[in-house]
Structure 1
Amino acid sequence: MSTLTSPEKEQYWIDVAVELSAQFALTAAEIDRKAELPKDNLRLLFERGLDTAILPEEKGGAGISYATFGRIVFEIARGCSSTACIWLMNTSAAESLITLSNPDTSEFYLQQWKQGKRFANALSEPTSGNLFLTPVQEAKPLGDGDWSLDGAKRFVSGAELADFFLVNASIDGAPAFFGVERDETVEIHEIWDALGMRGTRSQLIGFNQTRLKAANRFGQVVSNRQNLIALGLPWLSLGIAQAAYDALKVQAAGKKLSDGKPLTHVQWIQYETAEAHVKLKAAKLLAQHLLELADAGSEQTIVVSMEAKILANQVAKEVADLGLRVGGGLAFTRSLPFERHLRDAQAGGLMAYSSEMCKLFVGKFELNVRDE
């Protein structure tokens, strides 16, 4: 890898993701049907070096751009959305713990990640909705400089595999973030029975007098730091949209009408395929613009990430719905992938920040509305 030029290096990692995605697509339906974690997929992503590729070269990563990172999320999601979601959350949690911890703790998490340990985000409280960055569960001081947390976090993707959690709590009324190692005080509640992205097994996590160590508390966040989840979520939805779009084209070309011609000759399908193509292309361009801003360190990434998420979430649902209609009655069954794409497409709009919250933020920004 060291002999590759920068563009070649970036393309190398994209090619790896494309290769693995095709393999993931073969088992995506079974993973969804069984609602099981895609352990083999995650292992392959680690073994091929994709887990730590976002890290700078001096930390043992590949130093890939945000543009390449987003494309990797897209390609993985195109093959298996649950795998992409867990991988995005694992990468984001690990990168955050490495970047925002003190030097000694950062080095510890870095070495753990390189060894294949798993990380997960445990930030959403059962009653907090989108307010995952403003926790209401108050941590109790232990008197020795540490704190104790009693509470729960929901939608923790890949929770059952995680060795470390990124956890938030309120301390003296202010948000605080910690790295927490899994121990006997962390309980996995196996309640996952989801509509879509069933392979994420995003369980509810209980914390029972879990120690929040002062040494594992985040320091001050760098103002222009980019959040991998915000950058990756639009591409997660776009990967689902692309998979649905590819499938509908195959179905339209393969299914015959009574006169022997394929469905591609039906005028309404031609019209709506054109509309889906244009919307998908537009959503990709906006999401690509987001990553370009992130690579440039622009402060505009916050609002553009929400714009990109709104469009990507909507396009995913629309393209998946079109696939279902092109597939006809059989598409309502597991014989075709459209019902799975339709279910998976719903998830993006619910992930924080939800589409509604993103629209509220963008609307206020455009109308110059400031909360008093």
Structure 2
Amino acid sequence: MNRKGISAIEALHETFQLLDVYNPVRHVQAGLVMRQLPALPRLAMREAIVNGMTHRNWQSHDSTLVEHIGGTLRVTSPGGFVGGVNETNIISHPSRSRNASLAHLFSLLGIAEREGIGVDRMVREMLRLGYSAPIFSQLDAAAAVRTTLIGDVPDKIWMEFLDAIEPATAGKDLNQLIILDALARKGWVELSEAAAAIQLPRQEAELAIHSLAAASFRGERIIQPVKGAPAGSEPVWCLGTAVRKYLERGWLERESARHLPDRTETALSYARYRGRISSTELGSIMGVQPSNLSATLKHLAAQGDLAPSNESGRGQGFHYLAVEPRP
């Protein structure tokens, strides 16, 4: 839509109407109830577009471009990030609007949330449905900022998992939700990675992790420390065994494209990032006995991805070293 002679508020209203028309509805069954959910959450789409209008460079003659194709929405607005905001801190950085008066007006009119809430809402809405977090990127040497939302079919298994967490706040708190999403995509996460993911200091990542460690799913722990990690090394956490099995089985039964990394993928990612891995560590992450994983580690060593820590290949403290550790 590119019509002249209408106000920004009228343009937003017409855009929202078009989004509702062309946002496919997906049917997701939860127990005996069939829920109708849009391919992309309406609140996330709304915030992406309002942010694109509010924070754009109004001195530019370029339009705020909204591209909506199936389950993907891209909003590209003129002007780069402002006020110290960038891709690595946009979730946690205090909001800095290029157009403070416009942002205030939109807030008074109920078009936009109060400052600093829009990005949080986008991330939370996407992660709650099992989608990846929104992608925020600066294009063409600060000439434009793009927000991309990618969805399709809401993840029923993931949604039911979040709804079953006790206390319920653990599945809704943004920091805890981001860390859970990282764990479900990778299988494990270091404290430093968790801090980077929530874009906050280590102390706040520790608080979020400890809150998750105190939460439960069907009476079992949601997350746990990885066993066998050397004393004094960076703290590392993985999904609880019950959660891992629930997600693996649910995604497999529904023939979902989503899956947890298998033991080979997990061993390689862990060893390359941490510099080492033992059967105890891998067993803790995978939720199986360490003795069942010796063949996997030996195979990776045989093909040159890992190297044994000693020539005998056994003994207390035996582990494997990454041949190509993280730079």
TM-score bracket, normalised by the shorter chain, equals under 0.3
The structure that has the greater radius of gyration is 2
TM-score normalized with structure 2 length: 0.24
Question: Comparing both chains, which one has the higher relative contact order based on Cα–Cα distances under 8 Å and sequence gaps of 6 or more?
Answer: 1
Where is the helix percentage greater, Structure 1 or Structure 2? 1
